[in-house]
Structure 1
């Protein structure tokens, strides 16, 4: 085992939030504790996880809230416990609070219509407005796909198992028999990290996640793919194609994108609702 500098954790609020969440205590409670962090590393240099050891002068009341802590005030944590950032934690919290992702998407579409209908005389400013409206519609679709997937998956042990069983991130992991229990205890945390870090405008990847986890027939993505490419030009090439041609974003293009996005979300929502009712194994 090798030592991990405490300053590395203490300088990163996001990592402390993750640690407090993993320990089952609040950030304020964690800040009252003195502890050291050591890495659990194999002879081959693989990181198995972390050991958190609390000093003897720590509050016994706070330590009693930490499930699995040993008599020597030490607890073992998974290697990915510090992977989720503060922003990831915030995103997960927001997803958990939103119980109607379809309604949120519809509200965003209505907002995009109001934004598009703003009267601006200056041509350059009008073009900038249309570009931002186009990008915002793709963003709303991404948010719907991510929030729906994460909330549905975490709401069911069956779907969480399906996600872990089918996602490439977990298929490529190799663990020994002796590690099975420790890994299984923390598997939900690792799954959360993978789900939050997915790029949800990569529709072929998202399609595989939905079909593998929920066993549904994912809606056709071909109509939306061309708009994803336009978004890439707008965001990463300042509105130009790889050939240097300026992308023409007009009201007709935005209306087409919005209509396709709304149709896609409605179709996907209907498939999810139908299959959740019919196919649950319990």
Structure 2
């Protein structure tokens, strides 16, 4: 027998969080992954539209690292909402390990503010800093990244930093020559 549930009133009341995982399962990808793929596709199309424009090519290269950073942050922040991951994060995050000791009478105040403390800490992190991301993902999500990919991404992050903060030049003033194929290689690396 077919059973059909009318959930319109729940959805219209804003109770959609409970159904996000079902929607993602049906779609075959998380919302952050779909956003990242869409952004990478748009950057690829943009760079292909004007491969002779060096400023645009550099900005697209930089944009790919920004997409990666947003994706890594979205996935991690979302995962930390689960109690077991939250616990691993609180127990392993270095800034939390060095905090001052409080009397036991303060435990409930600390628990009441824990989510806000975690949120503040996560929003202050740079998810393009590869050593930080590697450590957080390994300790909290039990995910390891292939070292060769991390090395390539780390080099690309440095180039992105030079593009954003030095108009495409390194610390010695040498200009990074970023061409369309470099953008395409970086985009392919993000899909690995």
Same fold by TM-score greater than 0.5: yes
Partner of 2:153: 224
Q: Which structure would you say has the larger Rg?
A: 1
How much has 1:206 moved relative to structure 2? 1.1
Once structures 1 and 2 are overlaid, which stretch shifts more, 225-234 or 180-189?
Answer: 180-189
| Partner SS state of residue 80, structure 2 | helix
2:163 to 213, 223, 234: 234
Q: What whole-Å deviation, never above 9, does each CA across 1:21-64 have from its counterpart, x for those lacking one?
A: xxxxxxxxxxxxxxxxxxxxxxxxxxxxxxxxxxxxxxxxxxxx
1:112 aligns with 2:39: no
How much has 1:196 moved relative to structure 2? 1.2
How much has 1:111 moved relative to structure 2? 0.3
Partner of 1:164: 90
Aligned partners of 1:234 and 1:216: how far apart in 2? Answer: 30
CA RMSD of aligned residues (A): 1.5
Partner of 2:78: 151
More helix by share: 2
Scaled by the length of structure 2, the TM-score of the pair is: 0.79
Aligned partners of 2:46 and 2:39: how far apart in 1? Answer: 10
Gapped regions of structure 1 (runs ≥ 5): 1-97, 264-282
**Per chain length, whose mean CA-contact separation is higher, i.e. which structure has more relative contact order (CA < 8 Å, sep 6+)?**
2
Q: What whole-Å deviation, never above 9, does each CA across 1:244-276 have from its counterpart, x for those lacking one?
A: 11110101211111111111xxxxxxxxxxxxx
Q: What whole-Å deviation, never above 9, does each CA across 1:159-201 have from its counterpart, x for those lacking one?
A: 1111101001110112222222210121111001111111111
Aligned partners of 1:217 and 1:253: how far apart in 2? Answer: 26
Figure out how many residues of one structure are paired with residues of the other and give that number.
161
Aligned partners of 1:146 and 1:114: how far apart in 2? Answer: 24
1:138 aligns with 2:65: yes
Scaled by the length of structure 1, the TM-score of the pair is: 0.55
